Structure 1
Amino acid sequence: MIAVRIAWLAGVALAAGLSTLAGARATETAAGDWAQADDKTGKIRSHVRIVERGGVFSGHVQRVFPDPGESSHPICDKCPGRLKNQPIVGMTFMRGFRRDGNTYSGGTVLDPEDGNTYQGTMTLSPDGHSLTLRGYVGTPLFGRSQIWRRIR
């Protein structure tokens, strides 16, 4: 009888622990560190940190991984205004995203490769391990997506 009771208590404790983990996963947000890969080659190009302040998410470049012959301290020579010729590392290039479940919308994304700013949406995977960023002009139908992987 004691063995049955111990087994039952262990089962209750395990179930409580698993439900806590499931609840934690359900509340995970896009905030954190992400590996951004080139959508054509799959090569990791940068690490990005997404932060949340007052319900608004933004992201800045933490680190770049240049190809051989490229600068390890790139500047945004095609960026407009005050960002022109500024270092890409440290640059806030995405801003204004608001969360609705696992979807984030209403934001903009600056592409330092061409200096253009695009409307954006982000979708966090159910397990919180990947983030799909879609940049577009006008409608998401005409855009480009990247899948980022969370850095743990």
Structure 2
Amino acid sequence: MKRLFALLPLLLMTAAAPASDVTGNWVTEDGTALIAIGRCGNSVCGKVAKALVIKPGRAETDVKNPDPRLRKRPIIGMTILSGFKTDGGGWKDGRIYDPETGKTYRSRLRLNTDGSLKVSGCILFVCQSQRWTRPR
């Protein structure tokens, strides 16, 4: 019994480890952008690191932003993931900003068993998810 209690902290640390694995570079589901996710204090945040595919007519600045003062800021380098709290197996209660629509959604991040990242954006109780992958 004493051995079980001695191992319990180690097991709990191991169970919480996958949440930190979301850091690094990720290719979005449509393959158009590279997102760099890193630590931001006790949380994680993500920035657009690079455009991998330039879609015709796609703006290089945040033209859809509802705040007119922010419409000239470049999309490359922009923080699109912020405010996440760890839940042991992933990250919850964050925000994801979509520069293509200028909208911000509640978001969750969870590492899948295949090593990909499930990125969910939600409005009320309706969520849509994408599967992001590590660059090759």
CA-atom RMSD in angstroms = 2.4
CA distance in 2, matches of 1:106, 1:65: 28
Deviation at 1:98, TM superposition (A): 1.6
**Is the 8 Å Cα contact of residues 56 and 98 (structure 1) preserved in structure 2?**
yes
Partner residue of 1:53?
40
Alignment of 1:88-107 (within 5 A): 88-107=75-94
Partner residue of 2:25?
33
Q: TM-score, normalised by structure 2?
A: 0.77
Q: TM-score, normalised by structure 1?
A: 0.69
CA distance in 1, matches of 2:55, 2:63: 19
Q: Structure 2: which amino acid aligns with 1:49? A: A
Greater relative contact order, per chain length (Cα 8 Å cut-off, separation 6+): 2
Alignment CA distance shift 1:92-1:27 (3 Å) = closer
Structure whose CA Rg is larger: 1
What SS does structure 2 have at the residue aligned with 1:74? Answer: coil
Q: Deviations over 1:33-77 (max 9, x none)?
A: 001122xxxxx1100000112221110000113345345x71110
Alignment of 1:136-147 (within 5 A): 136-139=122-125, 142-147=126-131
Structure 1 unaligned regions, length at least 5: 1-21, 39-43
